[in-house]
Structure 1
Amino acid sequence: MSQSSGSAATVGPDLTRGQSKNLALATLAFAISFWAWNMIAPLGVRYTESLGLTSGEKSLLVATPVLVGSLGRILAGALTDKFGGRLMFTVLLLATAPFVVLVGFAGRQESYGLLLLFGFFLGIGGTTFAVGIPFVNAWFTADRRGFATGVFGAGMGGTALSSFFTPRFVTWFGYGVTHVIIAVALVVVALVVWSAMRDSPAWSANTDPVVPKLVAAAKLPVTWSMSFLYAVAFGGFVAFSTYLPTYLKDVYDFDLTQAGTRTAGFAIAAVIMRPVGGVLSDRVGPRAVAATSFAGAAVMAVIVALQPQPEIPAGISFVLMAAFLGLGTGGVFAWVAATAPKERVGSVAGIVGAAGGLGGFFPPLVMGATYDEADHSYTIGLVLLCVTAIVALLYTLFGVRRKEPVGDGGR
């Protein structure tokens, strides 16, 4: 007992000295990788017009990068437990860069097949989320992990940067040069991460084989509880962030830049609320935060389905939707940090993160399949979102066990 206390006293000052810098670097790496991950969606209108895509083809193109970015998180999280965040961030940033350029090449060739192929591998950029959660978790004590994971999660603002700047970069610099710029940015950030980032002194490598480690994480009740909730919260955010430019074009007839600007505003609102969700979870418990998120999302889905008029009513509706979803993403991962066993945070985060990404993969396909072209309406898809959010609310309140295996995250 005294040995454990002495160890904690030794580690504490080291964490304090390095945690802010490493949290900032992890958030930067997450943001630029998410920008790359979201390179196709802001240009979806362009691809639709140049390639003559149907609604279904357009939805598949936008959703494809989400797929590997989701499933890849399972492996990325487990490998982070073994190799640490510094190495994994660097490798994944460098691995994403070539596919950003190749997506640009496919667009130049106006090849739908190549866009799908390279867009699939572009999803590598989306796996960094499962690297950052265990990385920042190790840098902070239990009472501040909601704050830490919330701040790191704000790096999902990379989707806002992409939505706002990618169409403008295409206008300012040209289509091909835009993809080169983002690829170079990925390489530069990878070099910064490798030279300046450090794994926490409190972190130690989990050398268990990857497959048994994932199986062990999959056996934890918290893994599947949080996977469902995160699939709704983060999945809703990803689905809106990737499909909103298309939605705004179809429903409100905004052009590429106008739709991108408004999508960026949506993403920024969610980004701001994610750390708020984490901080509130430290204070009132993640259960209350998640329940508020899902209740609000259900209400806003109904309001958005009524197609409020632009600019103010529609703008406020989408911002509130984003705020509730962002609050939920912060709350759910604060719950993960509070309840997952320390040595399996990466593996659990990988599985939960994958569920969140998959939660964002299917809604764009559903939206495309249920789009009423005659009425320019996505009512069916939004009603399904409302029903899903209500189910998540009920599960949050009554389905998740009050006492979890570790910590008191089920308050």
Structure 2
Amino acid sequence: MTHEKFKLFSFSGKMKVLHLSWMAFFITFMVWFNFAPLLQAVKASLGLSTEEIKTLLILNVALTIPARVLIGMLTDKYGPRLVYSTLLAVCAIPCFMFALADNFVQAAIARFLLGFIGAGFVIGIRMVSEWFPHHELGTAEGIYGGWGNFGSAAAAFTLPTIAIVFGGEDGWRYAIGLTGVISLVFAFVYYNNVSNTPKGSTYFRPKNLGAMEVTSVPDFFLLLVMKLPMYAALALLAWKLSPAGIDMLTQTVVYLIYVSLAALYLLEVFKVWEVNKDIFTKPVPELHQYRFKQVAVLDILYFTNFGSELAVVSMLPLFFAETFSLDPVLAGLVAGAYAFMNLMSRPAGGWISDKFGRKSTLLFLTAGLAAGYWLMGMVDGQWPLWLAVVVAMACSFFVQSGEGAVFAVVPLIKRRLTGQIAGMTGAYGNVGAVTFLTVLSFVDYSTFFYVIAGTAMLGFVTLFFMDEPRGQIAEVREDGSVELIDVSHSKA
């Protein structure tokens, strides 16, 4: 951990690592979301139907849920420098595949594989936690998350123009291919300019790669319960592709997917048992324990805030267009204000968390999120447009600040498991998006917003079970000695 001052516009030491990490995250999101802004051009060029376009959008997020968990494990084991660089380089390949696709099947395979790059976010969470002390960690993670997340908005603003500059029917191919080139080049930039820890610091690794470690018997069962929604979300995506949904897959294939998911869950139960079976016979010393309920609460909160953000960004242009009879361009600009807030809101959530405490900040922001979505549910055509935009932006502030505050807590639970905890929490955000978008397909806009508000209130209640991170967490060095890592000013 370095003790240099937090100078936002410095590009040396820990600030260099922070800036290069948010740039890596920015690029992963630019690549991940490079399809939506060029959707009409792709549709015309490949002769795709509306249902096939919807399928590509679903496939784009399908792999991200398990990928975030897997990437979190690999990050803890091999370090963020190697894993981030490898992800950026390897995912350039399906990006190029999509740019060169000639038909729906090729495009579908490429978009499915590109879901993996959406897992990049969790790598930087571990990297930033290694370089910043606890009293700056929320701010640093907020900048990483907020500025990196803006990659999706940057794709929306720039790629259509780049496609026009290249011109012709294949302009979209050059625009998407360019994002792949940027990803490939930055893989080498990142690898050659960062290290996993400051000089002299220890990079703590988990004892096992197969599953997350827990430190008590009740936590063992809670972990298994918290794994279930991730499998349920993947089953829900399969159902969306079934004859009952958009009819891309046959019912037989869908049943095979269900059976495969059940088998994978049972395999995961076995892996969790293998890694943690000792806790049933020998209690873990109190010094080395952590409470998995902390992770479970953060999962539920991220399900609501990031899950709702992904879902709302997808539907907000249409909501404004239909509610206020706006043309699509104006509706898109108005809705874009929601995503634009990320630049300030995530860092603000982390900063508030650093200054005023982790739990109290989350309680305040989650309550604001619930109130914001409740007001969104009341918006109709009788409202002045400016007031609806103000409500949407205020709601967006609480949503994205809440995301920043969640990831201000993630690195303070158990250092060597930070990647896995970030991976699971991040995956819950995608589970939330799948859930809320599915709800939207059955209900009107008002009910959709009320459902999110209700979910936020559930998260608010679970927060009372979370403990404020205090004192120190213990990690064991390779030589067997114990290092105590501060997680708060108080040693209580």
TM over 0.5: yes
1:394 aligns with one of 461, 470, 473: 461
Q: Output aligned runs, 1:248-263, within 5 Å.
A: 248=320, 251=323, 257-263=329-335
Aligned residue in 1 for 2:144: 152
Q: After TM superposition, give the deviation of residue 128 of structure 1 in Å.
A: 0.9
Is contact 1:74–1:347 with CA below 8 Å preserved after alignment? yes
**1:165 matches 2:158:** yes
Q: After TM superposition, give the deviation of residue 200 of structure 1 in Å.
A: 1.3
Is contact 2:324–2:385 with CA below 8 Å preserved after alignment? no
Question: Partner amino acid for 1:361?
Answer: V
For residues 105 and 258 of structure 1, what CA distance do their matches in structure 2 show? Answer: 32
Q: After TM superposition, give the deviation of residue 254 of structure 1 in Å.
A: 5.6
2:15 aligns with one of 3, 17, 20: 20
Q: After TM superposition, give the deviation of residue 26 of structure 1 in Å.
A: 0.2
1:287-341 deviation digits (Å, cap 9, x = unpaired) = 2222232222222223333235575233222222211111100111112223x11
Q: Output aligned runs, 1:216-231, within 5 Å.
A: 218=223, 220-231=292-303
For residues 259 and 114 of structure 1, what CA distance do their matches in structure 2 show? Answer: 32
**When you count helix as a share of all residues, which structure comes out higher?**
1
Question: Partner amino acid for 1:270?
Answer: N
**1:209 matches 2:211:** no
Range 232-241 or range 294-303, more displaced: 294-303
Range 398-407 or range 61-70, more displaced: 398-407
**1:300 matches 2:372:** yes
For residues 24 and 408 of structure 1, what CA distance do their matches in structure 2 show? Answer: 25
Q: Residues 145 and 14 (structure 1 numbering): CA distance in 2 closer, same or farther, change over 3 Å?
A: closer
Range 18-27 or range 243-252, more displaced: 243-252
**1:178 matches 2:175:** yes
Aligned residue in 1 for 2:83: 88
Q: Residues 14 and 296 (structure 1 numbering): CA distance in 2 closer, same or farther, change over 3 Å?
A: closer
Q: After TM superposition, give the deviation of residue 27 of structure 1 in Å.
A: 0.4
| Matched position secondary structure for 1:211 | coil
Question: Partner amino acid for 1:392?
Answer: G
| Matched position secondary structure for 1:210 | coil
Aligned residue in 2 for 1:383: 450
1:141-189 deviation digits (Å, cap 9, x = unpaired) = 1111111111111111112212322333334432111111111111122
Q: After TM superposition, give the deviation of residue 210 of structure 1 in Å.
A: 0.8
Q: After TM superposition, give the deviation of residue 263 of structure 1 in Å.
A: 4.3
Aligned residue in 1 for 2:312: 240
For residues 326 and 95 of structure 1, what CA distance do their matches in structure 2 show? Answer: 29
**1:200 matches 2:214:** no
Is contact 1:63–1:364 with CA below 8 Å preserved after alignment? no
Is contact 1:231–1:360 with CA below 8 Å preserved after alignment? yes
1:354 aligns with one of 427, 430, 437: 427
Q: Residues 253 and 68 (structure 1 numbering): CA distance in 2 closer, same or farther, change over 3 Å?
A: farther
Question: Partner amino acid for 2:392?
Answer: F
Is contact 2:362–2:406 with CA below 8 Å preserved after alignment? yes
1:256-287 deviation digits (Å, cap 9, x = unpaired) = 65455444432120331101100110111122
Is contact 2:345–2:400 with CA below 8 Å preserved after alignment? yes
Q: Residues 191 and 255 (structure 1 numbering): CA distance in 2 closer, same or farther, change over 3 Å?
A: farther
2:392 aligns with one of 318, 326, 339: 318
Aligned residue in 2 for 1:4: none
For residues 344 and 428 of structure 2, what CA distance do their matches in structure 1 show? Answer: 22
Q: Residues 243 and 86 (structure 1 numbering): CA distance in 2 closer, same or farther, change over 3 Å?
A: farther
Q: After TM superposition, give the deviation of residue 81 of structure 1 in Å.
A: 1.3
Range 192-201 or range 37-46, more displaced: 37-46
Range 61-70 or range 89-98, more displaced: 61-70
**1:272 matches 2:344:** yes
Q: Mind listing any 5+ residue stretches in structure 2 that lack a counterpart? A: 224-290, 474-486
Is contact 2:358–2:469 with CA below 8 Å preserved after alignment? no
Aligned residue in 2 for 1:34: 29
Q: Residues 145 and 32 (structure 1 numbering): CA distance in 2 closer, same or farther, change over 3 Å?
A: same
Is contact 2:439–2:448 with CA below 8 Å preserved after alignment? yes
Q: Output aligned runs, 1:282-301, within 5 Å.
A: 282-301=354-373
Is contact 2:304–2:432 with CA below 8 Å preserved after alignment? yes
| Matched position secondary structure for 1:198 | coil
Aligned residues, how many? 389
Residue identity (%): 25
For residues 317 and 66 of structure 1, what CA distance do their matches in structure 2 show? Answer: 28
For residues 127 and 102 of structure 1, what CA distance do their matches in structure 2 show? Answer: 19
Q: Residues 354 and 379 (structure 1 numbering): CA distance in 2 closer, same or farther, change over 3 Å?
A: same
Is contact 2:353–2:408 with CA below 8 Å preserved after alignment? yes
Question: Partner amino acid for 1:400?
Answer: M
Q: Residues 271 and 232 (structure 1 numbering): CA distance in 2 closer, same or farther, change over 3 Å?
A: farther
| Matched position secondary structure for 2:91 | helix
Q: Which has the larger radius of gyration?
A: 2
Is contact 2:42–2:172 with CA below 8 Å preserved after alignment? no
1:49-89 deviation digits (Å, cap 9, x = unpaired) = 864425xx765543432232232111111111121111111
Q: Residues 166 and 295 (structure 1 numbering): CA distance in 2 closer, same or farther, change over 3 Å?
A: farther
For residues 114 and 327 of structure 2, what CA distance do their matches in structure 1 show? Answer: 25
1:6-53 deviation digits (Å, cap 9, x = unpaired) = xx7xx6469996100000000000011011112233345666786442
Is contact 1:95–1:124 with CA below 8 Å preserved after alignment? no
RMSD of aligned Cα (Å): 3.2
| Matched position secondary structure for 2:347 | helix
Aligned residue in 1 for 2:237: none
Is contact 1:232–1:389 with CA below 8 Å preserved after alignment? yes
